[in-house]
């Protein structure tokens, strides 16, 4: 028999996606560069559905229904180009290659064009939710030509997570749009995790609580506005007892965060686009600072902090931290969505941002109640510049801001680093200023570089001969 769809690359993600598809009654062909992995896969999971194991790419391609639908789930980067290069001569016009790994959106754009030259349709789809999501229902962000999407929509929508009967899968846009949105999703995940880590740091070093006590606080927070997968698992991680020491497991985990690069890509693209993206970028920097463990060890013994005993802490500290966390989270999402909007305009993607919030409600790492609020905001205001400007978020931050400011002051007094909390507050204070201090920046730029400035009270560009006769001249005609 012929297989409806094929999966090449049977490491954890590819294997779990193939199993998920087969469980939905779709016959799947499977292939892996190293054949032993294919054999093991068929031995372990062959009975879960209709699988055809292929030893070579030729055999794999031969068992696929046309137009062929091939999901490539190999290591991101050069391996994806390698597999595409091997597939191209084996395929027929109209066949569809689907890269479901974490590829950079610019690579996806390039691969879409290269494949089109061979008459092939290429799709770049973001898949979130880790191993478990791939198996049980991920959030899927497909990018590519709508006609290609129509050929795979049924399968993708059926294997995706479902929330209130809606699949967490929708056509995102052409070429790199799906991978772009997945990238920003991961960036937001970095910010969410950093904010949680800062709350944990404050609860430990300002409130003086131990890990299990903080775990209970997170579990309680998970019943309110903060309800989300990440807050839920924070509660679980913090209460876990280590079998070796009998103490909390987190207390013996090395404090160096690793990263695979999607947060960095998000920050880099924000810089390229000229979008202020402080929370995600600070989250990336915080991970890089955490990695400097030896330097931090030396600095801890050398660099002074605030005198001990400075800074009182208030009895409502825990509630303050919760409010600061929520307000900072609103800012992080507002920034991430503003970035997607800017990218949509720059690339002509026509992204439906409300739909993005909708497909992130299930399956993915940042799944949260909160996303319903974002979906509703865009349903009412599709061209919204900034989420902070819809009444729900405006009020949420207004209500939280006193606590947020107290937490930032307290952290500063205690010498606890809170880059994401404090930069989010600075962004908020900067964004709500009708007139900021950039007038001085322009004055300085004009002084040392004759870069010119504009005036509030007159049209045109001006330069002052600051160091010569001090006279202002109009520079635009
Ligand atoms: P890995 O990223 O560890 O990649 C291993 C797979 O790639 C193996 O099947 C390997 O084949 C294959 N491969 C590597 N190089 C080549 C090559 N040159 N030619 C052909 N095949 C090659 O697998 P994962 O399952 O962890 O991830 C797959 C993709 O999904 C990645 O893009 C990853 O970023 C993304 N992703 C991963 C998540 C996760 O939680 N792990 C979550 C979301 C996305 P072989 O067995 O022969 O070595």
CATH of the domain at 470: 1.20.5.320
Do 187 and 290 reside in the same domain of the chain? Answer: yes
d(CA 31, CA 9): 6
d(CA 368, CA 195): 15
Do 407 and 305 reside in the same domain of the chain? Answer: yes
Spans of the chain, pLDDT less than 70: 1, 309-313
d(CA 386, CA 390): 8
Residues with active-site annotation: 182, 189
CATH of the domain at 213: 1.10.1040.10
Range of the domain at 423: 182-431
**How many residues appear in the chain?**
477
ipTM for the complex? 0.98
CATH of the domain at 84: 3.40.50.720
Find the 80 Cα to ligand 1 centroid distance in Å. 9
For residue 260, which atom of ligand 1 is closest to its CA? 34
Find the 134 Cα to ligand 1 centroid distance in Å. 13
Do 383 and 413 reside in the same domain of the chain? Answer: yes
Do 122 and 187 reside in the same domain of the chain? Answer: no
For residue 79, which atom of ligand 1 is closest to its CA? 18
Find the 266 Cα to ligand 1 centroid distance in Å. 21
Contacts of 183 (CB under 8 A, 6+ apart): 102, 104, 105, 126, 262, 265, 266, 269
Do 115 and 230 reside in the same domain of the chain? Answer: no
159, 175, 191 — which closes off a domain?
A: 175
> What pLDDT was estimated at residue 477?
79
Sign of CA dihedral 428, 431, 435, 441: positive
Do 28 and 162 reside in the same domain of the chain? Answer: yes
Q: Specify the residue with its C-alpha closest to ligand 1, atom 46.
A: 34
- C-alpha triplet 184, 188, 191: angle, nearest 5°: 140
> What pLDDT was estimated at residue 307?
86
Helix (H, G, I), strand (E, B) or coil at 125: strand
Do 206 and 145 reside in the same domain of the chain? Answer: no
Q: Specify the residue with its C-alpha closest to ligand 1, atom 1.
A: 75
Q: How many domains does the chain have?
A: 3
CB–CB of 92/68 below 8 Å? yes
175, 205, 233 — which closes off a domain?
A: 175
Do 123 and 218 reside in the same domain of the chain? Answer: no
Do 161 and 111 reside in the same domain of the chain? Answer: yes
175, 195, 217 — which closes off a domain?
A: 175
Sheet with 461-464: list strands edge to edge. 453-454, 461-464, 472-474
Predicted model pTM: 0.96
Do 268 and 369 reside in the same domain of the chain? Answer: yes
Q: Is residue 128 annotated as involved in ligand binding? A: yes
Do 141 and 206 reside in the same domain of the chain? Answer: no
CB–CB of 173/351 below 8 Å? yes
Do 92 and 195 reside in the same domain of the chain? Answer: no
Q: Specify the residue with its C-alpha closest to ligand 1, atom 32.
A: 101
Ligand 1: residue of 57, 74, 128 to mutate (most ligand atoms within 8 A of CB) is 74
> What pLDDT was estimated at residue 315?
74
Find the 86 Cα to ligand 1 centroid distance in Å. 16
d(CA 144, CA 147): 8
């Amino acid at each position: 028999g012929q297989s409806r769809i094929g999966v090449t690359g049977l490491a954890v993600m590819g294997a779990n996606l193939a199993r998920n598809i087969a469980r939905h009654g779709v016959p799947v062909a499977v292939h892996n560069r190293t054949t032993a992995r294919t054999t093991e896969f068929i031995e372990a999971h062959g009975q879960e559905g209709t699988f055809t194991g292929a030893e070579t790419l030729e055999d794999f391609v031969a068992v696929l229904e046309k137009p062929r639908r091939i999901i490539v789930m190999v290591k991101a980067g050069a391996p994806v180009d390698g597999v595409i290069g091997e597939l191209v001569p084996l395929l027929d016009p109209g066949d569809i290659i689907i890269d479901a790994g974490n590829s950079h959106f610019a690579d996806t754009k390039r691969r879409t064009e290269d494949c089109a030259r061979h008459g092939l349709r290429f799709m770049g789809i973001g898949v979130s939710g880790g191993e478990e999501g791939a198996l049980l229902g991920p959030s899927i962000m497909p990018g590519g030509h709508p006609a290609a999407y129509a050929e795979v929509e049924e399968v993708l929508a059926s294997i995706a997570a479902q929330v209130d009967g809606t699949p967490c899968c929708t056509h995102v846009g052409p070429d790199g749009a799906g991978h772009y949105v997945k990238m920003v999703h991961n960036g937001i995940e970095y910010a969410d995790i950093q904010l949680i880590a800062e709350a944990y740091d404050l609860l430990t070093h300002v409130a003086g609580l131990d890990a299990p006590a903080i775990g209970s606080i997170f579990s309680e927070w998970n019943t309110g506005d903060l309800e989300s997968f990440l807050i839920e698992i924070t509660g679980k991680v913090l209460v876990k007892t280590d079998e070796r020491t009998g103490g909390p497991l987190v207390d013996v985990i090395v404090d160096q965060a690793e990263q695979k690069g999607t947060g960095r890509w998000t920050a880099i693209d924000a810089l390229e686009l000229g979008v202020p993206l402080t929370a995600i970028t600070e989250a990336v920097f915080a991970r890089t600072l955490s990695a400097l463990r030896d330097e931090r060890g030396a600095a801890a013994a050398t660099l002074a902090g605030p005198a001990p005993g400075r800074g009182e802490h208030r009895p409502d500290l825990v509630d303050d931290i919760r409010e600061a966390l929520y307000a900072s989270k609103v800012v992080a999402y507002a920034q991430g969505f503003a970035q997607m909007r800017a990218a949509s305009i720059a690339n002509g993607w026509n992204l439906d941002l409300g739909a993005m919030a909708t497909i992130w409600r299930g399956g993915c790492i940042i799944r949260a109640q909160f996303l319903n609020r974002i979906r509703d905001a865009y349903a009412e205001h599709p061209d919204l510049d900034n989420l902070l400007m819809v009444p729900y978020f405006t009020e949420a931050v207004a209500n939280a801001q006193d606590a947020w400011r107290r937490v930032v002051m307290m952290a500063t007094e205690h010498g606890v680093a809170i880059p994401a909390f404090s930069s989010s507050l600075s962004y908020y204070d900067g964004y709500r200023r009708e007139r900021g201090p950039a007038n001085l920046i322009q004055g300085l730029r004009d002084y040392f570089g004759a870069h010119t400035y504009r005036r509030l009270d007159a049209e045109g560009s001006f330069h002052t001969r600051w160091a010569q006769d001090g006279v202002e001249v109009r520079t635009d005609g």
